């Protein structure tokens, strides 16, 4: 055998050895899909994304249009279709309604609700919010059938624990949510069949914290309570990411 042939055999052996070692690690990889809520976009997940990717998770962020529940669920399913392997799906606020429906996808092994709505089959976002109103009521309809928070009230209602400049920017860059999206009923509640985790934002002024507690108790979710505003996924990103990682480990 020539020197070149021996070298080729050696490289092949190294390659096969490496493949054997790395395969289990790839099999254990976790995919995380993050779904934002109403009035905001996916950029708010940046802090959570940074923690999860640093810890080796494959993270994708849905940018749903907030135009109807069906379209928002479809946008989420499109991202789920791109995942290779098991998924932990995470929703903030109205995003919880979305993941309740989209989480029925067989790839989804656990759901995480971050200061989020968690409807039962046949319930809507608006129905839940009206059942136990929040401390403030500054979300107003627009002429075209959408909802927005009064920019002057946004910081106090949505993100009182965010830096002032950040809250002001978010107030001026709101994504309106269609009234029709909030009144649509979910046709399936994935949390019945899969483990769910709920984060209560103890200082939430957008969703009543007691409503969060009631929904999570009803579903049998594993509950974590954190001091923070409705924007807890931004202000307490590391703590939120920790809960998501706990869900990923439990889903194995």
36 within 8 A of 145, measured Cβ to Cβ: no
Residue 93: helix, strand or coil by DSSP?
Answer: coil
pLDDT tens-place string over residues 200-234? 999 999 999 999 999 999 999 999 999 999 999 99
Q: Is residue 10 part of a domain?
A: no
Q: Is 13 buried (19+), middle (13-18) or exposed (0-12) by CB count in 10 A?
A: exposed
The number of domains in the chain is 1
- The pair of three-digit structure tokens given for residue 77, joined into one six-digit string: 């399913």
Q: Which domain holds residue 212?
A: 18-250
Cα 59 from chain centre? 11
User: What pLDDT was estimated at residue 252?
Assistant: 67
pTM for the model: 0.88
Q: Is residue 47 part of a domain?
A: yes
Query: pLDDT value at position 230?
Result: 98
Decide if 169 is inside a domain.
yes
Q: Is residue 190 part of a domain?
A: yes
Listed in sequence order, the residues at least 6 apart from 242 whose beta carbon sits closer than 8 Å to its beta carbon are 51
Whether 161 is in a domain gets the answer yes
Count of other CB atoms within 10 angstroms of residue 48: 27
Q: Which residues of the chain have pLDDT under 50?
A: 3-29
Q: Is residue 40 included in any domain, yes or no?
A: yes
Q: What are phi and psi of 149, to 5 degrees?
A: -90, 135
Helices 69-81, 95-102: axis angle to 10 degrees equals 60
Predicted local distance difference test score (pLDDT) of residue 251: 83
Q: Is residue 7 part of a domain?
A: no
List the one residue out of 96, 102, 104 whose CA is nearest residue 124.
96
Residue-level pLDDT at 71: 98
Q: What is the CATH number of the domain that holds 142?
A: 3.40.50.1820
Q: Does 3 map to a domain?
A: no
204 vs 38: CA distance, rounded Å:
15
């Amino acid at each position: 055998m020539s020197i070149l042939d021996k070298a080729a055999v050696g490289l092949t052996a190294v390659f096969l050895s490496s493949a054997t070692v790395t395969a289990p690690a790839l099999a254990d990889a976790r995919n995380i899909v993050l779904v934002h809520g109403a009035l905001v976009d996916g950029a708010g997940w940046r802090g959570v994304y940074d923690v999860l990717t640093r810890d080796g998770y494959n993270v994708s962020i849905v940018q749903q249009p907030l135009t109807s529940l069906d379209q928002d669920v479809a946008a989420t399913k499109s991202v789920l279709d791109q995942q290779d392997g098991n998924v932990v799906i995470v929703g903030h606020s109205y995003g919880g309604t979305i993941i309740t429906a989209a989480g029925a996808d067989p790839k989804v092994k656990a759901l995480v609700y971050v200061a989020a709505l968690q409807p039962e089959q046949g319930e809507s976002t608006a129905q839940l919010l009206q059942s136990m109103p929040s401390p403030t009521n500054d979300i107003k309809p627009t002429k075209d059938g959408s909802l927005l928070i009064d920019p002057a009230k946004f910081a106090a209602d949505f993100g009182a624990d965010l830096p002032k400049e950040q809250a002001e920017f978010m107030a001026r860059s709101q994504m309106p949510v269609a009234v029709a999206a909030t009144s649509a009923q979910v046709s399936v509640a994935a949390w019945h069949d899969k483990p769910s985790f709920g984060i209560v934002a103890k200082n939430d002024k957008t969703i009543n914290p007691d409503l969060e507690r009631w929904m999570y108790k009803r579903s049998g979710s594993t509950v974590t309570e954190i001091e923070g505003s409705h924007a807890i996924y931004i202000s307490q990103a590391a703590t939120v990411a920790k809960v998501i990682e706990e869900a990923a480990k439990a889903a194995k």
